[in-house]
Structure formats: C-alpha cells, structure tokens
Amino acid sequence: MGFPQITGHQVQKDFLRSSVQKNRISHAYLFSGPEGVGKKLVAIGFAKLINCTESEKENLDCECVSCTKIEKGLNPDVLVFEYPDEKTIKVDHVRQDIDRFVHLAPYENPYKVFIIDDAQRMNSNAQNAFLKTLEEPPKNSVIILITTLADMLMPTIRSRCQSVAFQRLEIGEVKSFLEKEKPEVSNTELVSRISGGSISKALNTDEDFFSKRTQYIDCLMSVDERKPLTLFDSVEKMQKNIKNGGPQELKMVFEILSTWLEDSVILKTSGEKEEIVNADLFEQLHEYSERRNLPELLDKFTALEQTMTRISENNANVEVSLENLLLRLSR
C-alpha cells in the first residue's frame, strides 16, 4: 500500500513526502501514536517512496520492482523487526538483526530501511546498543522506530530521531475505510465508534466482540445491582475467558467496561447522545446512568483505571485484582 491508499494521516504523509522532495531524508525517525492507526503502514509506504523507481503514482499502487517486493516483504533492503513472541527486545536482537546489516550498502535500492515495531519493548541494554548505531548514522540507511509509548525510549534515542507523531483517526475516516475495504460489515457507524479511531480495532470488532460486550456489561450490571452470588459467578466467567484469551482478552474486558462507564459519565454530564460509543445500547445505558450519581460513576471509573495499572505495570495477580475490582464496582 502506497501513501495514497493509506487512510488518514495527511499531515504526516505530506511531511514525509516533502522531506523526499527536498532531499532531506533523516537517518532515523520516531513514529509515535496510538495502537492500530497505521503507523507501520506509513513506515512501509515511506520505504516505498524513497526507493521507488517510478515516482509514486497518484491513485494506484505502484508496481515497480522495488515497491512490489516491499509490498510482498521480499525486498532485501527493507526489513521489519517485530518480535511478537518476545516480552522484551534484547541487546542480541539489536546486534544480530540491526548492527550487523546497518553499515552494509543497500543491495538493490537507494536506501536500506530498518523498521522496528513496538520499539519501546527494547530493554535498557538493547536501547544502549541501539543508541550507538544512531550516534554513527550509517550512510544510505533509514531507521524507523514505531512506538505507542515514546516515553519508554531513552531521551538520547528520541533526540536523535526525527519525530513524527500520529493521532487517532477520525471516526468518519474509519467508517470510510470499512465501507471501502470491508463491505461485509453492516454496522459501520457503530464499529467505527467502538474502534476509537483505530483501524486494527475496527477490524477486530466482530461478532465475537459483540457477544463478549454483552457478557461483560451484563456482568458489570449484575454486580452493580448486588444480585446475590453473581459476583463470584461473574469473576469466574471472566477469569475463564481471560485464561483462554490471554492479555488480549483482558484488554478487551477493560476497554468494554471503561467505554461503558465513560458513556454513562457523558450521559450524566453533557447528555450528548452523539458522543457516546455504545450508541446501540442507548436505552440500557441511559437507565444505568440515571440510577447513579456522578461521584459513584467516577469512582467506578477510577477503580477500573487503577486495576488496569496494577495489572499492566505492577504485575499484580489478575484473579485477585479482578475480584477486588468487581467488589469495588458492586458498592
């Protein structure tokens, strides 16, 4: 996919395009911003742009040899490092995968491009090793770091990269994307709202998501209404799903519950129906929000946020944390 086909991010694409036109390509970039908005697609689009043998075509995907090979992941000069199975990116990864190749001349293109996804997962040794590469920028190489959490990278790394910050896509942009690329999705408006401006989240908002949403919101409602025995029943159900689905499932639980609580706060304060995410559940949401006062809703929201932090940053026990959370939500 070339720049013209990538949804949104006009400012970022224009900036990168003009750096090519003005012959001011940096040796390192830091692409930061929310998950699933298309940072990696833009990075790959940029790799095409600087290596394209025809000037980038306006509306069609370029089919020159270089672009075609990049699209298929077969261009020897464009390397994407992801490490999905590793918890952290270690110094050996940097040495073996990047350092070894970074100073070699490109095989068949003007530039070698190294794209490192989730760069914040580099541990401190890896970051220090990587810094050395950045300090002696290799000729004809472009390094693109992609991250959702730029603050986790050392300031000395950040300051050596040209920063390109990405934002969430507009709901309308996600909707147009779905209408064009996924005509089988019928409820594009709702899915786009739920996506929060992330294409990858929109693509994961499927039947399974909607059934989980019903389940987790029912769970929240039942503990909240202090129905006898539902608390432990609910914890058990959630735990079972999380055990099967892992961290992704846990993330889904939190996202579903927090958009629900955010929606109820919006209804309680501005009453703007247009701003809520779970627009299809308006009646239920309205009833929920009417029966609680603002401090109660905000307290539940805080409880949820604190639990998320405890689990993700402090490695708290998931089962115990969920039990505590649901107890607090039932008050």
Contact residues for Zn ion (CB under 5 A)? 52, 62, 64, 67
DSSP letter string, 36-77? TSSHHHHHHHHHHHHH-SSPPPSSS---SHHHHHHHTT--TT
Residue 152 corresponds to which tokens in the numbers above? 């986790």
Q: Identify which of residues 52 and 217 has a Cβ nearer to Zn ion in the complex.
A: 52
Q: Identify which of residues 61 and 97 has a Cβ nearer to Zn ion in the complex.
A: 61
Q: Identify which of residues 72 and 87 has a Cβ nearer to Zn ion in the complex.
A: 72
- The nearest distance, CB 108 to Zn ion, in angstroms, is 13
Backbone φ/ψ region at 23: left (φ over 0), alpha (ψ -120 to 50), beta:
left
- The nearest distance, CB 56 to Zn ion, in angstroms, is 7
- The nearest distance, CB 107 to Zn ion, in angstroms, is 16
**Cβ–Cβ < 8 Å for 304, 261:** yes
Residue type, 89: I
The three-class DSSP label of residue 22 is coil
- The nearest distance, CB 40 to Zn ion, in angstroms, is 19
Q: What is the dihedral of CA 161, 167, 173, 177, to 10 degrees?
A: 50
- The nearest distance, CB 312 to Zn ion, in angstroms, is 41
Q: Identify which of residues 52 and 231 has a Cβ nearer to Zn ion in the complex.
A: 52
The length of the chain is: 331
164 closest CA partner among 39, 309, 318: 39
- The nearest distance, CB 48 to Zn ion, in angstroms, is 6
- The nearest distance, CB 62 to Zn ion, in angstroms, is 3
- The nearest distance, CB 67 to Zn ion, in angstroms, is 3
Q: Which helix (H) or strand (E) holds 304?
A: helix 294-314
- Cβ burial 289-314 (10 Å sphere, 16+ → b, else e): beebeeeebebbbebbeebbebbeee
- The nearest distance, CB 72 to Zn ion, in angstroms, is 13
The CA-atom distances, in angstroms, between 199 and each of 118, 193, 264 are 17, 11, 25
Q: Identify which of residues 76 and 172 has a Cβ nearer to Zn ion in the complex.
A: 76
265 closest CA partner among 294, 306, 227, 237: 294
Sign of the CA dihedral running 212, 218, 220, 223: negative
Rounded distance between C-alpha atoms, residue 178 and residue 197, angstroms: 12
Q: How many other β-carbons are positioned within 10 Å of the β-carbon of residue 77?
A: 24
